[in-house]
Chain A
Amino acid sequence: MIKLPRFRSPSLRNAISSLLAVIVAIAISTIIIVVVGKNPFEVYSIFLRETLGNPYGIGQVLFKATPLMFTGFAAGICFKAGLFNIGAEGQLLIGAFCTAIIGYVFAPLPPVILVPLCIIAGIIGGGLWGIIPGFIKATFGAHEVINTIMMNFIAAGVVNYLVGNVFFVPATVHTPEIGINANLPRLESFATFFHGSPVNLSIFLALGASILLQFYLSRTTFGYEIRATGLSQDASRYARIKTSRVMIWTFFLSGALSGLVGTNYVLGYKHYFELGFSEGVGFIGIAVALLARNNPIAIIVTALFFGILEYGSLTINVIIPKELANIIQAVAILSIITLTKVFDRYQIRLMEPAK
């Protein structure tokens, strides 16, 4: 057997297994490309040229990465508390819908009031939707996984109803447009570099959230309580941490972060809420968080990686179906959880004294 070096630092170990997972995913995608009879070098060179090789591509990648950052934070903060939030998809639907409705109803307000109001609407909408499974878990002990899955479908039903029957524009599946005062400017209006691409100011919201979250988790009492609850609920309770309050609050934060997805799409891009706009970013956020080991700063990096995949797959669609990106993402998820187990076990064995 090949003797691998031993890594003492857990964060280095984590980084290595994440990197290995990405390598496995790319290797498998290369095999798939070869199997369907295409030239992987050609595919990858177009892929890289169109995503990172020109300003428009970079703008698109940033645009695609923004919602993944939010859903990545949402999944990550719950993981930190030892909770599972598969409900980001539903939370972002409700949040984005609230954002769009506030932007439409209060259209005449000036931007300095309206934009924050829309953002807060997203936070509250997503947060309240997220708090429900947290509350059910804390009060009745029902596992949050099933409840969050169920709430995704309930959210989809609710917005389907509202868009179809209450706030509808005939012959479309979207809400009326938000007021022009609620629009978040695109980056192209500040830097010609981004000319034509839809990346907008909401990416700074994501970057800000990342720093705040990192500070919150590592430097505040409540962040400490979240991490402690994640490590051991029993020990935390013994240390007088109110774990049920932590669960409920974490779920609120998680839902609120998912709810911010609407800032990118509704405020910054289409200016309305459209059914099916999310394209599963709620689920991919889980992969983003896993690959980043729930570290808010690392989530920015992994979200960018997934953003490259999302946009890049569109550019190679003429050669090979764009669903290749989903396959790479899925393989990355499966290999990260497998590799972590295998790698950690191997490293622990290396650390035991030789018999």
Chain B
Amino acid sequence: MNSPIFQLAFILQVLRISIPYALPAMGATVSERGGVVNIALEGTLLISAFATTLATYLTGSPLIGIVCGIFAGVITSLLHSLVTVYFKADQIVSGIGINLLALGLTKFCCQLIFNSSSNSARIVGLETWSFLPNYPLLNNPFVPIAVVLLIGENFLLFRTRFGLRLRAVGENPEAADTLGINVQKVRNAGVAICGIFTGLGGAWLALDQHCFTDGMSAGRGFIALAAMIIGRWTPTGAVLASVFFGFSESLAIQLQGSYGAIQFFQIFPYLLTMVVLSGFIKRAVPPAADGIPYEK
């Protein structure tokens, strides 16, 4: 049992790495269950990380930072739904556009505000929250928050009227429309909820690293997308896949120095996603109307 895998520090590291995968992955699940593909996760993470950094820097309060991060996440997502749900333009292209916008905009603002396009000033992080020194797992408030959100999302998707409507709109918008469901409204709500989750993920990134650095999302939005696919478009599956990715990445860090291991673990989530999508390991099937704008 001396293996580093069983030590608390390792588990903490796995959780730390998994959070910014799990939150956007949960968000994307809601968005895609409603039929909107959101590859703008990457950009949304960046924008909310920047918003969190700026707000925390100005106010000194990480809590306000988190609120602003979530707010920025929702705004970014609403831009995506404005283009794709309201104007019915292509969801993939919109996602690419938003990712590019986020990359440019955050660097632009970082240069103007912090006088460097690559990183911001240092901000206070979450250490100030260590309220239970004996329970290190709880000292990272994002872990219990994520668990609560996971339960909440499962309830929302599978036990509420809204959840049923959202899934209906994602599978067969024509039928949902015939039954009097406002497809646009429900899809917008789904994308906005995705923004809340992703915004929280971005806030965590900024607070964990104590600053904003350019491109700090570093592909996490895409790994989250991968986790959502491997989790077969269910919140629990998405979180489990995220933790699995967190685990394999932590292993890679443990193995540092061994030949090629880092790169292998870097590409591993992406390889696995392709294998799952191709149907080699129990085929993952997206919602039927995923990615198709609904036009009456």
Contacts and interface: CB of A to CB of B under 8 A. Distances in A.
Partners in one complex: yes
A52 interface: no
B274 A321 contact: no
Interface in A138-168: 139-140, 142-143, 145-147, 149-151, 153-154, 157-158, 160-161, 164-165
A98 to B, nearest CB: 18
B266 interface: yes
Interface in B264-278: 264, 266-267, 270-271, 273-274, 277-278
Residue of B89, B225, B286 contacting most chain A CB atoms (<10 Å)? B89
A86 B39 CA distance: 11
Nearest to A161: B263
Nearest to B270: A150
B100 interface: yes
Contact of B105 (A36, A84, A154, A327): A327
Contact of A330 (B100, B259, B263): B100
Interface in B67-81: 79
Nearest to A162: B263
A84 B92 contact: yes
Given A323-B107, A330-B97, A145 B92 contact: yes
Contacts of A321: 107-108, 111-112, 117
Nearest to A139: B278
Interface string B89-106: 110111011111101110
A323 B104 contact: yes
Residue of A154, A337, A342 contacting most chain B CB atoms (<10 Å)? A337
A145 B263 contact: no
Contact of A333 (B37, B100, B226, B263): B100
B83 interface: yes
A280 interface: yes
B94 A334 contact: yes
Nearest to A342: B87
Contacts of B291: 143
Nearest to B108: A323
A290 interface: yes
B219 interface: yes
B279 A140 contact: yes
A299 to B, nearest CB: 16
Given A36-B112, A321-B108, A161 B229 contact: no
A286 interface: yes
A337 B277 contact: no
A298 to B, nearest CB: 17
Interface in B105-150: 105, 107-108, 111-112, 117
Interface in A102-159: 136, 139-140, 142-143, 145-147, 149-151, 153-154, 157-158
Nearest to B272: A150
Contacts of A334: 79, 83, 94, 97-98, 101
Given A145-B39, A321-B108, A337-B93, A151 B100 contact: no
Nearest to B219: A153
A149 B100 contact: no
Contact of B101 (A154, A157, A330, A341): A330
Nearest to A155: B267
B139 to A, nearest CB: 32
Contacts of A149: 39, 222, 225
Contacts of B89: 337-338, 340-341
Contact of A338 (B87, B225, B270): B87
B60 interface: no
Given A146-B225, A161-B263, A330 B274 contact: no
Given A142-B279, A337-B83, A341-B88, A327 B104 contact: yes
Nearest to A321: B111
Contacts of A338: 83, 87, 89
24 contacts: A84-B92, A86-B96, A139-B278, A142-B277, A145-B37, A145-B39, A146-B225, A146-B226, A146-B229, A147-B274, A150-B222, A150-B226, A154-B271, A157-B263, A165-B260, A280-B103, A286-B96, A287-B100, A323-B111, A326-B101, A329-B104, A333-B94, A334-B94, A334-B98
Interface of A: 36, 84, 86, 136, 139-140, 142-143, 145-147, 149-151, 153-154, 157-158, 160-161, 164-165, 280, 283-284, 286-287, 290, 321, 323-327, 329-331, 333-334, 337-338, 340-342
Given A153-B267, A158-B263, 9 more contacts: A142-B279, A147-B277, A149-B39, A153-B270, A154-B271, A284-B100, A327-B105, A334-B101, A337-B90
**Nearest 9 A/B pairs, CB to CB:** A326-B104, A330-B101, A333-B97, A157-B267, A337-B89, A150-B270, A321-B111, A323-B108, A161-B263
